[in-house]
A and B are shown apart, each in its own frame.
Chain A
């Protein structure tokens, strides 16, 4: 079976606990993080995670992440990796 991956982007004002909250929520859902990168872009905290979502419910993950986003006051987007693959790779 082909591996399904999601790209999770987190944007917002930097403060302690964002990474912890996001990664804990993923761990609770038993979602494995394959790659993680964090940087500050134009003064904004920006984190990008690639997660393995094979056999996971994408909608459920999106709901949970939206919740974490609200708690932390950051914007979280969960998108299937295909959109990035299609757009940037021929």
Chain B
């Protein structure tokens, strides 16, 4: 036999019993060529470009799924941050007219995604770590309407980088934007992330966009497999932490190889460049597909107790080390994700009072992304939301890493809010009662830290 029975059975078991999947195949598309003085013409160009270039994305993904017998959960598209396109047609328009124009672009993205059978399209985005262009301002102001009047469009705003510091004006604005979006439909907030150090090649929503430095069209792959990692760790009852790390590394290697294979096959079939494999552990609400459960298997009674940050650091690092050997092109947000509502183990920990926002924030200093899918009381002040974003951005900026906030103001403390599908549901998390208003209202920019002078 060319492969040992054990190897074959291991692969089959990972897929059938442990939820191993390719989480997403994301096609990045440059839309800069679509710019036109007339907004309607520009929308036409955008629709045309997306539907032509991604025409075969879904059928080919299905063919690859069948060929290898591995599920590809999401087929997605990321596009050039829309804020960079709308200056030309909308810069001179009145405020209301400009917002309508931007929403029109969002609806165009939505309809092209629906036409193609794509799950999500990301890139209703703006990069404002240092300041705003006209297009940025229009786009950010249009977010509440754009994300609530479309089904599949995701947006992100990058408000800080290690190189340029934290744009507090943008953060203050985002607090209001999030509140406004939640007032129309809280689900809109689930499609919006505020970033520090946003990666331009991230295949995961809501933060995916086709950033600067990327080729014309590219295929990025995001892999995941918390169920597999948990399952192998379950067999290591008495192992020490070094052995745990070693085992996670090996598993991560195998999972990532699968991503590399699928990514290259997809790129070849679609005749576009292969970008990166994002080697991540991202949970889904499905039983057993939880990152929190991995930490618990390591020996924590509940995720969120003392030691959780250390366990998560071990996990994130081991995932990266194993994956780095498996593919030469890693990128995106590689590491472990800890979205609250999407992770059954996290939700359980929250219900039991094992985890709170302060611990989550500490965990984000060692994980990928940050305060993700956190439901906070609907009457939270916009300034409080801004302050939460500022804290996360500070962690990202100072530690040279990506952090993000996807926060949803909905319901009352203790209530349970359900989003459905991959987004899951979560109890409303209590926040600190004291105000941060004066601090965030000062505005301006927090200067870049000394670590940014690396040249």
Total CB contacts across the A-B interface at under 8 A: 68
Residue positions of B touching A, CB distance < 8 A:
1-3, 5, 7-9, 11-12, 16, 66-70, 254, 257-258, 260-261, 265
Partner of A9, one of B1, B12, B70, B261: B12
In the complex, A7→B12 CA distance in Å?
A: 10
Evaluate whether A88 and B9 lie within 8 angstroms (CB atoms) in the complex, with A50-B1, A80-B67 already known: no
Chain A, residue nearest B8 (CB): A48
Q: Which 5 A-B pairs have the closest CB atoms?
A: A79-B69, A86-B261, A83-B68, A88-B7, A86-B257
In the complex, what's the smallest C-beta–C-beta distance from A47 to chain B, in angstroms? 10
Nearest B residue to A48 via CB reads B8
Interface string of A43-55 (1 = CB under 8 A from B): 0001010100000
Known: A7-B3, A50-B2, A84-B3. 9 other contacts (CB 8 A): A5-B2, A62-B66, A79-B12, A81-B3, A82-B68, A86-B258, A86-B261, A87-B254, A87-B261
Pair B68/A80 contact, Cβ less than 8 Å: yes
Does A1 interact with chain B (Cβ within 8 Å)? no
CB-CB nearest in chain B for A75? B16
Residues of A with C-beta under 8 A to B66? 58-59, 62
Q: Kindly state the separation between the CA atoms of A75 and B16 in the bound complex, as whole angstroms.
A: 10
Within the assembled complex, what's the spacing in Å between the Cα atoms of A53 and B12?
Answer: 19
Among residues 70 to 90 in chain A, which have CB atoms less than 8 Å away from a CB atom of chain B?
Answer: 75, 77-88
Question: What chain B residues lie within 8 Å of A82 (beta carbons)?
Answer: 68, 261, 265
**In the complex, residue of chain B having the shortest beta-carbon distance to the beta carbon of A59:** B66
Known: A9-B12, A86-B257. A48 touches B68 (CB 8 A): no
Cβ–Cβ contact A37 & B5, under 8 A: yes
State how many angstroms separate the Cβ of B162 from the closest Cβ of chain A: 34
